[in-house]
């Protein structure tokens, strides 16, 4: 198995000993991205704005390895307030991810001063795709 890790200053710095992305055998796995702006470190207010920033961070990370949101096959989403923020989060998600949508797991989680975190699995297209 080949495995290649990617970390970049174009993304919020990892909060621990982990990579932003790891690719193994054509599959790309991301760390959980929060809503921190990679330049300022600021976190926007509200779940809709935070979801926009999180998805932008995911998109930037995937772009580092030549992929995009259309290559995502699975997302795992953590919401601080699942019942309260689910609809607003879902509106942004539906607009930003292209159809056919990736499979998704959404859970309520205790998050550190943020409202949403997303990690993804993307598949590198093969010849003929």
| 42-74 pLDDT, tens digit each | 999 999 999 999 999 999 999 999 999 999 999
Peptide bond into 95 cis (omega under 30): no
Helix/strand/coil for 59: helix
Tokens standing for 45? 């207010």
Distances (CA, A) of 49 to 7, 23, 55: 24, 29, 10
pLDDT digits (tens, 9 = 90+) for 11-54: 998 888 999 999 999 999 999 999 999 999 999 999 999 999 99
Tokens standing for 97? 């991810």
- The pTM score is 0.94
Q: pLDDT value at position 69?
A: 98
Could you tell me the fold of the domain covering 3-123? 60s Ribosomal Protein L30; Chain: A; (3.30.1330)
Tokens standing for 125? 């297209």
Query: Hey, where are the domains in the chain?
Result: 3-123
């Amino acid at each position: 198995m080949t495995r290649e890790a990617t970390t970049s200053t174009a993304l919020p710095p990892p909060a621990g000993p982990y990579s932003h992305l790891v690719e193994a055998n054509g599959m790309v796995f991301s760390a959980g991205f929060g809503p921190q702006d990679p330049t300022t470190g600021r976190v926007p207010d509200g779940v809709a704005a935070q979801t926009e920033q999180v998805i932008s961070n995911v998109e930037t990370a995937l772009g580092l390895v030549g992929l995009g949101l259309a290559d995502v096959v699975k997302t795992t989403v953590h919401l601080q307030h699942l019942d309260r923020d689910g609809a607003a989060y879902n509106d942004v998600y539906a607009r930003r991810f292209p159809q056919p949508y990736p499979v998704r797991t959404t859970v309520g989680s205790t998050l550190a001063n943020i409202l949403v975190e997303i990690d993804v699995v993307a598949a590198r297209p093969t010849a003929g795709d």
